[in-house]
Structure 1
Amino acid sequence: MAPPAAPPSRARPGDFDAGLARAREAALGGRYREARTILAAIEERAWDNPRDLRRLAEYHGHMNRPVEAERCCARAVELAPDDARAHYDLAAASIAIGRIDAAEAHFDRVIAADPRDWDAWANRSTLRRATAERNHVAALDRAMAAAGRDAEARIALGHALAKELEDLGDHDRAFAVLKAAADARRARLSYRVADDVATMAGIADAFSAERLRGAPPPAAEPGPIFILGLPRSGTTLVDRILSSHSRVASLGEIQDFALALVEGAGTAQGKADLIRRSAAMDHAALGRAYRARIAERDPGAPFAIDKTPLNCLYIGLIALALPDARIVHVRRGAMDGCYAMYKTLFRMGYPFSYDLGDLAAYRIAHERLMGHWRAALPGRMIEIDYEALIADQEGESRRLVAACGLDWEDGCLDFHRNPAPVATASAVQVRAPIHDRSVGLWRRYEAGLAPLADALRGAGIPLDYGR
């Protein structure tokens, strides 16, 4: 049932903005229960104001609460049915909770009302596999022609068109369109991959094998499960398999470990100083701070998944701070994994993914860091290969579940029926059964991806899984 409209006397000017500010402060401090209470109160006050409801939905989204975000967006559309932005926000919220057909209908409406909403075009093309009978290729071609030199249009429409052309098997044109879009995206970023490479090397130096010999032994009791690895490596798939277990809940991609780290380490003068401080800090206190934060999220199950891919930077800290943590590292063949990142238009983060040289440098540095963790913390990680999971879903799923200290449940095989929200680039794929269409897909683009392959091969990294 929808909350009732608030009495006018309670909806004083400024109350809503002040409430959002208080909720933001509480969330940043890890006081998620307080933040939820504040958001519930101001939702009641905003129930007849579509603009405020959309802002509230954004806050719910930041707190990994897509059901609440969808409720606010649906009410905003009800109040303002001709507002294209309200339909856009509702489409995005609908994806997270699995209402894919509804999301497509809302994106259709956005594009009809505002053909220059390039993000709507890009997001709509991710919702289903294009077929000869049902695709947007001609419309995307027309939109790109009409957009001219608009860089944002070339980025969004190019990624959408490349995706649909790939679905249709037109691989040569797909790669040409994708490269142009990725180049345009990279040109708009101020990013130096060398900084990330140096950071990963600095982390390995600070958390040496000698330093990590002092890590407490792994504990058997229930605790957090970190699912980590590079983006598009299969982390969401593994998350859905495990969170289909009755004793496991997924918190999604959260920043609680990094926030607890920054808070506990104190003010740092750049990344190098933060690394130094993190190695010297009270790691038991870091573990307590992290536990307090995720307890505030109220997972409702003994085991809570933190599925933030780049927590792989913090594996040494996790081992020192959280002896009961399970660390699940998801791997994927280097070229398939890199190509999957290259073709994805990420909303935020992963700036290394739009240039083949950047991708190679980052992937090589990541390989070295993971090799360091493997040597310094033998047996501490549960390693799952995406391709092995695709080839033997039940066998690998059983191994994963057992390694986490859980009894087997058949529901883990039906992960695609898991109704829990998911807010990642894989939100659509993980609602379908496992398939192997993406295994070896990079070879369709072998000529275009040759610089990446040459760099990885030169660093001694096998291009494919198992080779």
Structure 2
Amino acid sequence: MHQTSMENPLAEAFDRSTYAGLMQRGAFQEVMIALQPQLARAPSDPGMLDLVADCYFGLGRADRGIEVLEAIVATWPDDLAAWGKLGARSLQSGHKERAAEAFKAILKHNPNSAQALSTLYLAAPYTWDSAHGKRLRRLASSAKLSKAEKVSASNTLGKLASAADKPAIAFRYFQVAKDATPGSYDSSETSASVAAQCQSFDPKRLPQITTTGNTKTGDTSRPLFVVGLPRSGTTLLETMLRAHPHVASIGESPALIQTRQAIQNHLRQHDPAAPDWAWCDQTSPELAQAGREAYLAQLSQPDTAPGTVPCRVTIDKLPQNLFEMGFARMILPDARFVFMMRHPLDIGLSLFTTNFHQGHYYSKDLKSIGQHIRANYASLDDYIPKLGDRVRLQSYRQLVETPEPQMRAILAHLDLGWEAACLAPQDSKESVTTASLLQVREGVNRSGLNKWQRFETQLQPLIDALGGWDWIKEWEARDATLD
């Protein structure tokens, strides 16, 4: 029997926590340099090799990271955690066959792994009546499954039932998955925040600051915030834009939210009762400038391989930054925004049927999803006249139906020239870590349109929460007017 990483004495001697702070800051190259002497002394330490793999992924070298993971499982083939990581990373990189092999290796050791069966479906879909499908149904009914396993198994069974044209059964499984997911959602909190935004945010009262980039780093890249509801096509657009030689991305970063919170905390040191939106009219030009430079410092990526072409646009693709567009306007008056509009019933269906690993508690039931969608549009409609032509509304339908004219218009919004590679997101070498990782690898296509129609009966609570068909028809008419 080969040793697993848990059985290897060298793995116990390696303390990964030593590098936790550097990893959290994204200092992957620094960690790699620090590891060199240890790798020379203990080249067969699986824990250290796992950290090396993570550094490669952090540096955008998914190919090298996967090679390191493959070396780990080749040496310790009983290390099921390493197999699982290899499978997940392969999926993110678009290597579905390699991912399927990894998950099958886990099932060879443990045929009753509900998690492996669920993730295998992503890489190599199987049917409701297949041996894997039947086994997963048996496992899902077991009281021995952890909550996480219950969520994954039930969600996958919902997808299997949906593919087998069993919508009622599919929705029962999806609801079981959501019920087993921790967390709760209070729509009144979101509504109150949007109401405060509408009342408090006035760009005329914002401090005037310098917009010549980051004075500390010399970075002159313009920020682009791709926002909207999750599952609206933000990942597709990001991947298309990243094919442009003048565009980079920091992914779904909390940097903007963290910067706003830092300014709020500073204001509350002087006035503990300062409301959440106090920054709108209480931020000094000096504090706003400091916030700008703090945010832009997180846009610069010193550990990524430098290109020969200067970066002119850096994407921040955290969908919920929609609610932060006013703050972004204050510290980044040169920023641009693209709001992705996808049919609310398609978004609602996708939110309900997606197994989110954290957050997105509004997706636990259809009524909350509808309320959250309406809150997003209430925020958007308040920002549009206040932010003016900084905001582009982008129809998901038009992007996938007529990608070239839409992409040309988006690039013009960013003051960038045409780049044909933007039409082939499936060719990207970058890892995709969001729930859209499989869809992006399929390229630009119309498969995401009108999926809701098969489930109209099951979606009635969502339809009601959106305001009925009157509001939905108004949305459709609005989407049809976008150029």
Contact 1:342–1:355 (8 Å) recurs in 2: yes
CA distance in 2: counterparts of 1:113 and 1:136, whole angstroms: 15
Mapping for residues 233-244 of structure 1, pairs under 5 Å: 233-244=232-243
The offset of 1:196, in angstroms, is: 3.0
Amino acid paired to 1:276: A
1:189 is paired with a residue whose SS is coil
8 Å CA contact 1:212, 1:377 repeated in 2 = no
Match of 1:364 among 374, 394, 407: 374
1:401 aligns with 411
Match of 1:207 in 2: 201
Provide structure 1 residue ranges, at least 5 long, that are not aligned to the other structure: 1-10
Residue 235 to residue 224, structure 1, CA distance change in 2 (3 Å): same
* From 273, 290, 294, the counterpart of 1:289: 294
| Distance in 1 between residues matched to 2:379 and 2:46, nearest whole Å | 47
State yes or no: 1:104 paired with 2:109. no
Task: Classify 1:90/1:127 alpha carbon distance in 2 versus 1 (closer, same or farther; 3 Å).
Answer: same
The SS at the match of 2:251 is coil
Aligned-partner Cα distance in 1 for 2:460–2:431: 38
**Aligned counterparts of 1:460 and 1:45: Cα–Cα separation in 2:** 65
The residue aligned with 2:84 is: 88
Q: Is the 8 A contact 1:23 1:39 kept in 2?
A: no
Identity of aligned residues (%): 25
CA contact (8 A) 2:128 2:160 kept: no
Equivalence map 1:37-186=2 (5 Å):
37-42=30-35, 45=38, 47-54=43-50, 69-115=65-111, 117-127=113-123, 130=126, 136-147=132-143, 151-185=147-181
2:262 maps to what in 1? 263
Do 1:166 and 1:174's aligned partners in 2 also have CA atoms closer than 8 Å?
yes
Q: Deviations over 1:138-188 (max 9, x none)?
A: 332232244577644432111111113323433332222212222232xx3
Alignment partners' CA distance in 2, 1:397 and 1:153: 40
Q: Give the drift of 1:19.
A: 3.0
Provide the secondary structure at the position in 2 that maps to 1:462: helix
Q: Determine if contact 2:127/2:133 at 8 Å carries over to the other structure.
A: no
Total equivalences in the alignment: 448
Quote the offset at 1:234 in angstroms. Answer: 0.1
Question: Structure 1 residues 343 and 293, CA, compared in 2 at 3 Å: closer, same or farther?
Answer: same
Partner of 1:7: none
* Distance in 1 of aligned mates of 2:381 and 2:36: 48
Contact map agreement 1:228 1:311 (CA 8 A) in 2: yes
Distance 1:234 1:454 in 2: 24
Partners of 1:37 and 1:250 lie apart in 2 by 21
Q: How does 1:256-405 map to 2 (within 5 A)?
A: 256-266=255-265, 273-277=275-279, 280-281=282-283, 282-297=287-302, 300=306, 301-405=311-415
In the aligned structure 1, how far is the partner of 2:131 from the partner of 2:257? 41
For the structure 1 residues 59 and 409, does the alpha-carbon distance in structure 2 shift closer, same or farther, using more than 3 Å as the test?
Answer: closer
* CA 363–65 in structure 1, closer or farther in 2 if over 3 Å, else same: farther
Instruction: Note the alpha carbon deviations across 1:95-135, whole angstroms, 9 max, x for none.
Output: 22222211121122223323454433333323355568989
Amino acid at match of 1:351: Y
**1:277 offset after TM fit, Å?**
4.2
Letter in 1 for 2:278: R
| Equivalent residue number for residue 435 of structure 1 | 445
- Structure 1 residues 61 and 194 mapped into 2: Cα distance closer, same or farther (>3 Å)? farther
Whole-angstrom distance in 2 between the partners of 1:272 and 1:112:
58
Counterpart residue type for residue 113 of structure 1 = H
- Tell me how far apart the structure 2 counterparts of residues 155 and 137 of structure 1 sit (CA, whole Å): 16
Deviation per CA, 1:37-70: give whole Å up to 9, x if none. Answer: 0344236626422234445656776887755654
Contact 2:263 2:279 in 1 (8 A): no
Root mean square deviation of aligned Cα:
3.4
Residue 246 of structure 2 is matched in structure 1 by 247
Cα 1:194–1:58 change in 2 (3 A) is farther
Residue by residue over 1:8-42, the C-alpha shift from the partner in whole angstroms, topping out at 9 and shown as x without a partner, is xxx999874463144157x1xxxx44x53034423
Tell me which amino acid in the other structure corresponds to 2:177.
A
Contact 1:161 1:177 in 2 (8 A): yes
Q: Do residues 189 (structure 1) and 188 (structure 2) align? A: no
Relative distance call for 1:395 and 1:212 in structure 2 (3 A) is farther
User: Counterpart amino acid of 1:45?
Assistant: Q
SS of the residue corresponding to residue 369 of structure 1 reads helix
CA distance in structure 2 between the aligned counterparts of 1:326 and 1:383, rounded to whole angstroms: 11
Q: Which residue of 1 aligns with 2:3?
A: none
Is the CA contact (8 Å cut-off) linking 2:16 and 2:47 kept in structure 1?
no
SS in 2 for 1:293: helix
Please tell me the residue identity of whatever aligns with 2:462.
L
Q: Following TM superposition, by how much is the alpha carbon of 1:308 offset from its aligned partner in structure 2, in angstroms?
A: 1.4
2:476 corresponds in structure 1 to: 465
1:296-332 CA-partner distances (Å, limit 9, x unpaired):
4556433221111111121011122113322111111
AA of the residue aligned to 1:42: L
